[in-house]
Structure 1
Amino acid sequence: MAYVPGTALLAALVVGCSASTGTGGSAPDSKPGEATAAAAAPGKYRTLLDACRTVPSSSLKDLLPGAADLPEDQQKKVYGGTATVTYDTDRRVGCRWKSEASDSSRTLFVDFERVVSYDPSVSDDDRAREVYAQKEAAAGLPADANTDAATPGSTKEQTSPSSDSASASEDKNADDPESNNADSNNSGTTDGGTADSADTSGSSGSSDQSLAPRTLDGLGDSAFLDDLPTRAGSTTQNRTVSVVFRTSNVIVTIQYAQHPTVSTVVPDSKELQEKAQSLARKLVEKFSE
């Protein structure tokens, strides 16, 4: 075996390392001028609020008539709400409330969905825009739905879902296996039965075009309202008002419904819509804190 002096061996090693690493320590397979693709920006929200603790007590008292007349322990149970089953509270949470009065009951459902994009080239916000657009398309708002008048400081994004958004909604749950829960709640039906035609008449029975399902301005980044009656039986009619809005990568769904127990009570669209929108504005503020 040939003998190599220590100094010569060291020099050979230095030359070998220099040849393998290249100038400036760059990898041998790197290409000059090749740019590394930057990952899309993450969404603003990394966690979600506790849905059952988000609605102010003053709002619950207004939204759930009859509960204030109950004994204190029963009031706490009604106002405390019931959390919906979820497997990841950082991705989806919800809560339900119900109150009983002498002539009707009221139900309130709030759902928070944090959208996450698993495509590094698509931001969480862009993915949330797609999911929101699918929900708006699925609501089937009239083509000539009037948009609410803009409010000062509105951050409304004009969302115009493409014609194929409805078909795209078939795979909208690819990112979130729990999406089916809230989507079933947005189907436009209530416990009483199947939705009738989109009648937007109030308690007076006269149609008011301003109460028709529509997009909303000044509520988060994008928002819409849906209003559907459902026939619970031969004499009573339920009504459910839904307000859905997006703020960054979170989509919030509010469903507020009245279920009459006597035929003489007709749910008032205007009242239900005003209360649902009032709650939506308070929730927007909660996410802005």
Structure 2
Amino acid sequence: MAYVPGVALLAALVVGCSSGSDGDAGDADSKPGSPTVSAAPPGKYRTLPEACRAVPPGTLRDLLPGTAELPQDQQEKVLQGAPSVTYDTDRKVGCTWKSQAPDGSRNLVIDFERVVSYDPAVSDDDRARDVYAQRENAADLPTAAAPHEDEKKDKEGEKKGKASVTPSGTPTTPSAPATDASSGSGSDTDDLRPRVLDHLGDTAFLDDLLTQAGSTAQHRTVSVVFRTSNVIVTVQYTEQPSLVTEVPDSRELQEKAQALARKLAEGLSE
């Protein structure tokens, strides 16, 4: 048996171990049928717009009645809005505007959320679909056969012999009951129910809520929520009249909220 100096023997052992490790790794990688995991593609959007600058001044003046009549300094204050408190502007931003006019107040809130998946097997878009679906389900939109919540109140009001309010804000009495949206008569009530919207982002829905607290005037909030790729946008538009007897009109609020949502969707696509 030939004599091998200690240093040479140590070097030989190191080389042997290294080559053996590489060979084992190569064998493992080349095993037939071994699964390969590739990361899901990232979402289309990596950043979010500056929320308080996302709505043009002209649009804000239309959405916030009374603003154009204010002195210039007050008008600028209203139009600049108040940014939402957020700890990560790459993930979530928002802005709120408020106006007060003799006949009532209007509030506008917009919110942008960029959804990110932390699961390499789930894409940002797929995660955003799940988040959006949860919000749509939480809105509890009526089915085609189910009446709007306000219509349920109409029926209850008729039973009690009291006046009630339709979704469009038109008072009705027991002698002139509100049209049942489930009848398919093609009335305004059909068009104004909370519903899924077409041709807005990848998917969208609208909610319409009329509330009254104590002796204060009724206020109505129309919400439009849509998803574009991995970004979810929410528009909330609220009106509260000064008079307790007045009811905010659904049609006006819904049309303006949808028009703004479409502008925001176009801005994201640019």
TM bucket (normalised to shorter chain) is 0.7 to 0.9
- Tell me the residue number matched to 1:222: 203
Contact persistence 1:243–1:280 (CA under 8 A): yes
Corresponding letter in the other structure for 1:21 = D
Once the two structures are overlaid, the 10-residue window that deviates more, 197-206 or 63-72, is 197-206
Change (3 A) 1:7 1:48: same
Point out the structure with max Rg over C-alpha.
Answer: 2
- Tell me the residue number matched to 1:119: 119
Change (3 A) 1:269 1:13: closer
Corresponding letter in the other structure for 2:138 = A
Distance 2:39 2:199 in 1: 31
Distance 2:47 2:240 in 1: 34
- Tell me the residue number matched to 1:32: 31
- Tell me the residue number matched to 2:88: 88
Match of 2:217 among 236, 239, 258: 236
- Tell me the residue number matched to 2:246: 265
Helix, strand or coil: the match of 1:142? coil
Distance 1:271 1:145 in 2: 25
Helix, strand or coil: the match of 1:21? helix
User: How many equivalent residue pairs?
Assistant: 239
Change (3 A) 1:200 1:16: same
Mapping for residues 41-190 of structure 1, pairs under 5 Å: 41-144=41-144
Corresponding letter in the other structure for 2:22 = T
Distance 1:10 1:87 in 2: 55
Corresponding letter in the other structure for 2:261 = A
Q: Is 1:255 aligned to 2:236, yes or no?
A: yes
Helix, strand or coil: the match of 2:226? strand
- Tell me the residue number matched to 2:167: 201
| TM-score under structure 2 length normalisation | 0.79
Unaligned runs of 5+ in 2: 155-164, 172-177, 180-188
Change (3 A) 1:46 1:102: same
| TM-score under structure 1 length normalisation | 0.74
Distance 1:131 1:27 in 2: 41
Contact persistence 1:78–1:97 (CA under 8 A): yes
Distance 2:202 2:46 in 1: 18
Shift of 1:15: 6.2
Distance 2:140 2:10 in 1: 78
Distance 2:255 2:52 in 1: 21
1:107-134 superposed Cα distances (whole Å, 9 cap, x missing partner): 0000111111111111111111111111
Unaligned runs of 5+ in 1: 147-187, 189-195
Helix, strand or coil: the match of 1:137? helix
Change (3 A) 1:276 1:31: same
Distance 2:63 2:117 in 1: 35
Shift of 1:39: 1.1
Alignment RMSD, CA only? 2.9
Corresponding letter in the other structure for 1:220 = G
Helix, strand or coil: the match of 1:144? coil
